[in-house]
Structure 1
C-alpha cells in the first residue's frame, strides 16, 4: 500500500517524529509507554512488515525480558520486597522500572526505524541545508551509510572468503583476526567515502552563502491540514505533561496519579498522535476510494 504519510512536507514529518520520539523517551507512565510501543510497532510494521516482525522477535522481545530481569538483580531499591536472591532483595518497584525502561527503549527503536524510512537524507538536507549545511550533510551521510555499510560488509566478507580469510574460517584466533581485518577494511572504505562525498559537495558549492538549490517539496493544503491536526493533538499532551498526568514515581514506592476524565482525554490525544500516520493513510485511502 502506498504510504501517503511519507509524502507530507518534510517539516511536518520532522515535527511529528521529533515529538513522538521525545515523548517516548521521557514519558515513563505505563499507559503512555503502552500506547507508544503499540503504535510504534504498528507504524513500523506498516512500513516494513517482515523486517519489523523479525527484529521484534530476535531483538526487542529478548531485550525486554533481559532488561526486566536484570534491573531488580542490580537495583535493590523499593519498598515492596518480592523475594531474596543471594541475600539481596528483589523489589516490585525495581522489576516494574526495568520493564518500563525496556518498553521505552523498544518504542524509541521502533520509532527511529520509522524515522529512518520516512525522513530520507534529501529531506534532511532540504530542511537544514541553508541553516546548518555541515550538520545536515553529516546527518544525511550517516543515514545513507547505514544501509551502505551492510551491503559493503557483505561484499568485503565474500571477497575475504574467496581467499580463505572469512570471519567463519579457521580456528577461533584466526576468525578473530579475519574479523578485525574485515572491520579495518570497512573502516578505511567508510573514511575514504566520507572524504570523497565531502569534496564532491564542496566542489558543487554546497554551503556557500546565497547558493540556491532545487527542491521538489512544496507546502500545500494537505500539509497545512496535517500540521494543524498535529498541533491540535500536541496541546492536550503538553497539558498533561505540565499537570502531571504522565508522571509516575517508581522509587521508593510506586505512586501514580489517579485516572480521571482529564487523564483519559490526554491518553486519547496521545494515542491519536502516535497513530496519526496510520489514520492519515486510512483517511486518504477512503477519500480517494469515494472519489472514484
Structure 2
C-alpha cells in the first residue's frame, strides 16, 4: 500500500454497478438509525476510503471526520432535552438526558458516514460515468450535475494557479498588511468567479455544438455490461433487497425518544444486519478477489 492506497478494482466495473451500490449505501446510511447499522456504515465507509485513498483518507477520517463527530455528539444534548432518562441538570436548569446523548452520537455517526461515502462516490463515479447513465434520460440535468461534481477539484487546482501567478507580481494574500491581503484575496476570488462562469459557458456551448441532448443523437461509450458486472448487480441488488425486507418487517427499527428501544434480536432478525454489513464491504470483497486472481495469474505465468 502506498500513500495513494490500492488500485480500486470496483471503480473499473460498469457505471450502473457503481451507481446502484452508492445509491443503496447512501440511502440506507441516511435512513437506518439503528446503532448497529450506523456502526456498520461508518466502518464500511472508513475501510473503503482508506483502502482506496490510503494515507490521505486516514488523515481526513481521523483528523476531520472523527473530531466533527465528537463535537456534533456533544452539542446535541446541550440543545436537545427530550428523553425520559434524566442523568443530571445543566447549569441553566435544563435536563441532560440519556436519550439526547444517544441521539447526538447516532446523528453525528450518520453524518460522518454519509460524508465518507460521498468522498468515495466522488472518486468512483466520475462525470463521464454519470453522463453515460443519465445523459439520454435527463441530458441537461446530468450535464449540470457532472459539472458540479467536478467543480470542487478543478476550483482548487485553478485557485492554486491564480494564487501562484498573483504571488509572482506581489499581490498574493501573504503580501502586505491586513487590508492589502484582504484586497488581494478579493481580487483572486473575482478572477476565480470570472473563470468559473466562462468555463461553464464554454462547456455549455461545446456540448450544444456537438448536438448533446438532441433526439436520436448517438454517443460513443467505452462501457459494456460484462458477466462480472451482472454478477455484481445481482449480489448488490439481492443484498439491498434483503436489507429492505428487514426494514419492512421492523428488524432494523430503533427509536431514541422518549426512551431508547429497538426490535428484539433473534436468529432471523440478525440476518438483515449481516446483509447490510456484506453490502457495505462489497467493494472490499471485489478488490480482494481481484488481487487473488492477479496473484494467481502471476504465479502461473
TM-score bucket of the superposed structures, by smaller chain: over 0.9
Question: What displacement does 1:177 show?
Answer: 3.5
In the superposition, relative to structure 1, how do residues 276 and 182 fare at CA in structure 2: closer, same or farther (>3 Å)? same
Matched, 1:37 2:35: no
Aligned to 1:189: 195
Which residue is equivalent to 1:105? 111
Which stretches in structure 1 are left out of the alignment for 5+ residues?
A: none
Partner of 2:70: 65
- Residue 240 (structure 2) pairs with residue 234 (structure 1): yes
Q: Give, in whole Å, the separation in 1 of the partners of 2:231 and 2:85.
A: 49
Structure 1 residues 29 and 208 mapped into 2: Cα distance closer, same or farther (>3 Å)? Answer: same
Equivalent in 277, 282, 292 of residue 288 of structure 2: 282
Establish whether residue 76 from structure 1 lines up as the match of residue 93 from structure 2. Answer: no
Q: Which residue of 198, 215, 223 maps to 1:217?
A: 223
Change (3 A) 1:98 1:226: same
Distance in 1 (alpha carbons) for counterparts of 2:183 and 2:78: 36
**2:30 aligned residue (25, 28, 38):** 25
Farther off after superposition, 103-112 or 246-255: 246-255
- TM-superposed CA distance for 1:123, in Å, is 0.6
Distance 1:188 1:245 in 2: 53
TM-score, normalised by the number of residues in structure 2 = 0.92
Higher mean C-alpha displacement, 61-70 vs 257-266 = 257-266
Moved over 6 A (4+): none
- Following superposition, the deviation at residue 288 of structure 1 comes to 3.9
SS of equivalent to 2:136: coil
Map 1:157-196 → 2, pairs under 5 A? 157-196=163-202
2:126 aligned partner? 120
In 2, Cα distance between equivalents of 1:260 and 1:176: 62
- C-alpha displacement at 1:166, in angstroms? 2.6
Deviations 1:204-229 (A, max 9, x none): 11111111011111111111111111
Partner of 1:137: 143
**What is the CA-CA distance between 1:174 and the residue it aligns to?**
3.9
Match of 1:262, SS state, is coil
Q: TM-score, normalised by structure 1?
A: 0.95
Q: Report the secondary structure of 1:2's partner residue.
A: coil
CA–CA distance in structure 1, aligned partners of residues 119 and 54 of structure 2: 12
CA 170–245 in structure 1, closer or farther in 2 if over 3 Å, else same: farther
Tell me the number of residue pairs that the alignment of Structure 1 and Structure 2 aligns.
292
Q: Secondary structure at the match of 2:192?
A: helix
Q: Determine whether 1:272 maps to 2:267.
A: no
SS of the equivalent of 1:258 reads coil
